Amino acid sequence: MYFQADGNIEDLSIFKHKLVYKARNGGVGGRNKKHGFNAEALVIKVPVGTAIYVKEPDKDMLVLDLQKDGKKMLAAKGGKGGKGNVHFATATRKAPETFQPGETGEEYKVLLKIILPIDVGIIGFSNIGKSSLLAAVSAARPKIAEYPFTTTEPVLGVVDDGVKKYTWAEIPSMTAGSHEGKGPGNKYLHQASRAEVMIYLLEAFSQDVKKDLLQLRREVALFNTAITEKKAVVVINKIDMIENEIALEEIRWAMQNMEYDVYFISAKEKKGLKDLICGVHNLVTERKLQTAGESKHEVVYRPKPVDKGD
Ligand SMILES: Nc1nc2c(ncn2[C@@H]2O[C@H](COP(=O)(O)OP(=O)(O)OP(=O)(O)O)[C@@H](O)[C@H]2O)c(=O)[nH]1
Ligand SMILES: [Mg+2]
Mean pLDDT of 172-180: 70
- Segment among 50-54, 73-77, 188-192, 299-303 with least mean pLDDT: 299-303
* Same domain membership, residue 90 and residue 173: no
**Best CA proximity match to 268, nearest among 111, 135, 123:** 135
Indicate whether 100 and 132 sit together in one domain: no
pLDDT tens string 213-270: 999 999 889 888 889 999 999 999 999 999 888 989 999 999 888 889 999 999 999 9
Shortest-distance ligand to the CA of residue 150: 1
Residue 307: inside a domain, yes or no? no
Question: Quick check: 84 pLDDT over 80?
Answer: no
Q: What angle do CA 300, 306, 310 make, to 5 degrees?
A: 140
Q: Which of 66-75, 100-109, 195-204, 211-220 has the lowest mean pLDDT?
A: 100-109
Return the minimum-mean-pLDDT range out of 56-60, 68-72, 197-201, 276-280: 56-60
Domain boundary among 79, 114, 149: 114
Distance between CA atoms of 244 and 254, rounded to whole angstroms? Answer: 16
Whether residue 104 is found in the same domain as residue 159: no
308 occurs within a structural domain: no
**Residue 161 falls within a domain, yes or no?**
yes
Domain assignment of residue 244, yes or no = yes
Residue 57 DSSP class: S
Q: Are residues 140 and 181 in the same domain?
A: yes
Both 174 and 93 in a single domain?
Answer: no
Task: Write down the pLDDT at residue 270.
Answer: 97
Q: Do 145 and 225 have their domain in common? A: yes
User: Could you report the per-residue pLDDT of 180-207, keeping only the tens digit for each?
Assistant: 666 655 667 888 888 999 999 999 999 8
Same domain, 163 and 265: yes
Tell me if 20 is assigned to some domain.
yes
Which domain range does residue 273 map to? 120-291
* 107 and 141 part of one domain: no
96 and 140, same domain (yes or no)? no
Pocket test for ligand 1, best of 143, 144, 199, 238 (most atoms within 8 A of CB): 144
- Check whether residue 84 and residue 101 sit in a common domain: yes
Specify whether 174 is located in the same domain as 244: yes
Closest listed residue to residue 153, CA positions, set 196, 202, 186, 110: 186
Report residue 137: phi and psi, to 5°: -105, -10
Is the Cβ atom of 151 under 6 angstroms away from ligand 1? yes
Structural domains counted in the chain: 2
**Residue 40 confidence (pLDDT) above 90:** no
The model's pTM = 0.77
Q: Answer whether residue 305 is part of any domain.
A: no
Select the highest-mean-pLDDT range: 30-39, 92-101, 166-175. Answer: 166-175
Asked which of 114, 135, 151 is the last residue of a domain, the reply is 114
DSSP characters for 214-252?
Answer: HHHHHHHHHH-HHHHTSEEEEEEE-GGG---HHHHHHHH
For residues 283-299, average pLDDT:
74
Q: Which ligand 1 atom is the nearest neighbour of the CA of 267?
A: 31
Range with the poorest average pLDDT among 29-38, 88-97, 165-174, 292-301: 292-301
Looking at the structure, do residues 85 and 129 belong to the same domain, yes or no? Answer: no
Residues with CB under 5 Å of ion ligand 2 are 130-131, 150-151
The CATH number of the domain where 157 resides is what?
3.40.50.300
What CATH number corresponds to the domain at position 41? 2.70.210.12
Locate the ligand 1 atom nearest the alpha carbon of residue 269 and give its number.
31
Ligand in nearest proximity to the CA of 128: 1
Q: How far does residue 74's CA lie from ligand 1's centre (Å)?
A: 44
